[in-house]
Amino acid sequence: MEEGLEDALGGNNAVLKAPSLGLLKEAPTMVMGFDVNHPPPGSTKPSYSALFAFLDGDCTVPFTVIGSQKSRQEIYEGGDKDVIQGFVEKVRSCLRAFRQKNGLPPQRILFFRDGVAHNMFDKLKKREVAEIFEACRSEGGADYVPLLTFIVVQQRTRALFANVGDKTQVAAGTLITTEIVSEDGKDWYMVAQHGLKGTSRPLHFHLVQDDANHRKGELQRLTFDLCHLYQRATKIVSRPAPVYYAHRAAFLAQYYQDNYKEEVAWEVGSTTSTGSAGSHSSVPSVALGPAVARTVYFA
C-alpha cells in the first residue's frame, strides 16, 4: 500500500466547508459532545455517560470516552443528582488524544452538552465548565487555558414551526433568533433537518459560555453544518454530530460492562442492563479499547 493511502481510506465521508471549516482552523479546535443515558425513573440500575471529540479541524477523526456512575435513584437519594463521575478524567483523555494527533493541545474547545434543563444552567457552569478548565490545567499546566465555547442543546421543546399556508414543513436550516428568544442573543431555535414525517420540532441552543467571542451568526452556521456529518444518516439530522454521537455512545455503553448479561425477557427499547442490579450496588466497570475509541463504532 502506498504511503499515505491508508489514511486516505480512513472513512472520511464528509468534511465541513467554508465558512465553518475556516472558523475551526483559525486556531487548533476540538469539537466535543457530551450526554448521559439514564435508566427509567425509579430504577437502581446504573447510568452511563459518553464524551465524544473530533481530533481535527475537518471533524473527521473521532475519539470517544465512556463511563458509568450510580443509578439515578441512588444519586437522587444522595441529594446531588448532577454529579458526573470521572468527568475531569474524560476531558483529560480527549485533550491527550488531541495532542497525540496534532502535536499540540487545542487552543479552542467547542463543547455541546445535551440533556440539561433551564434551571440547571448555573450549576452546570459552576461544575462542568469549571471541571473542563480543571482538566486543562491538570493536563497542560497552570498556564494552559483554552478558549471555551459551551453550548447546551435542548431537544424536547414545546415550540413548533410550520408553513401555515400549505401546511408543509419549514425548510431545513430554519433559524429563529428573535421574538421567542432571550434579548441577550445567547440562545436560538433551529430546525436543521428535513421534515420527513409529522411536524419537526426545533432544537433550542443556549450559549452558556463563549470565551472566543464568535461573530454574529458564526455559531449558528457552524451548528447547522455539524448536523451534516452524522454517518448513520445520508440526510441532515436534527442535532450536531458530536452530541448525536455522544448520545449513541452513552446508550451503547451498557453493553461494554465487564459482567454484562442480557436479560432473558428483553424489554424493547430498554436503556438498562442486568450488569449491576440491586439497590446501592457497586458501579460497573466500562471502558473502550484504544483502537475502538478512535472509530465511530456506534454507527
- Predicted confidence (pLDDT) per residue in 223-268, tens digit: 999 999 998 888 899 999 999 999 999 999 988 877 666 653 333 3
**206, part of any domain:** yes
Q: 4 in a domain, yes or no? A: no
Question: How far, in Å, CA of 229 to CA of 13, rounded?
Answer: 8
Flag whether 289 is in a domain: yes
- Decide if 2 is inside a domain: no
CATH number of domain containing 72: 3.30.420.10
Query: Crossing angle for the helix pair 87-102 and 130-140, nearest 10 degrees?
Result: 50
Cβ neighbours around 79 below 10 Å, total: 6
Beta strands 108-114; 147-154: pairing state: parallel
Residue 247 is assigned to a structural domain of this protein = yes
User: What is the chain's mean pLDDT, rounded?
Assistant: 82
- Residue 184: the pLDDT is 86
Q: In the numeric block, which cell numbers belong to residue 199?
A: 411536524
The DSSP bridge pattern shows strands 162-163 and 168-169 to be: antiparallel
Strand segments, DSSP code E, in the chain are: 29-37, 46-54, 62-71, 108-114, 147-154, 162-163, 168-169, 174-176, 187-191, 203-210
> Do the beta carbons of residue 92 and residue 138 sit within 8 Å?
yes
**Residue that has been written with the C-alpha cell 465558512 in this structure:** 19
- In a domain, residue 6? The reply is no
Domains held by the chain: number: 1
The percent of residues in the chain predicted with pLDDT above 90, rounded, is 47
Assign 153 a pLDDT band (cuts: 50, 70, 90): very high
What pLDDT is recorded for position 284?
A: 73
Question: What per-residue confidence (pLDDT) applies to 223?
Answer: 95
Residues 6+ apart with CB under 8 A from 127: 82, 83
Whether residue 136 contacts residue 211, with contact meaning beta carbons closer than 8 Å, is answered with: no
Q: Is the Cβ–Cβ distance between 48 and 286 less than 8 Å?
A: yes
Give the three cell numbers for residue 40.
Answer: 427509567
Q: How far is CA 120 from CA 123, 149, 189, in A?
A: 5, 18, 19
Q: Look at residue 98 in the predicted model and tell me its pLDDT.
A: 97
Per-residue confidence (pLDDT) for residue 211, from 0 to 100: 97
Helices (H), the chain: 5-8, 20-25, 72-77, 87-102, 121-124, 130-140, 218-226, 241-252, 290-293
CA atoms within 13 A on the CB side of 193: 20
For the whole model, what pTM was predicted? Answer: 0.85
Tens digit of each residue's pLDDT (9 = 90 or more) over 167-190: 677 888 889 998 888 888 899 999
Cβ atoms of 39 and 45 within 8 Å: the answer is yes
What is the Cα–Cα distance from 210 to 227, expressed in whole angstroms?
20
- In whole angstroms, what separates CA 121 from the centre of its chain? 16
pLDDT at 27 over 60: yes
Task: Specify if 5 maps to a domain.
Answer: no
Q: Which of 38-64 are b and which e, b meaning 16 or more Cβ less than 10 Å from the residue's Cβ? A: bbeeebbbbbbbbbbbbbbbebbbbbb
Domain of residue 108: give its range. Answer: 14-293
Over residues 281-297, the mean pLDDT reads 83
Residue 53 lies in a domain: yes
CA geometry: angle 153, 156, 159, nearest 5 deg: 100
d(CA 215, CA 178): 17
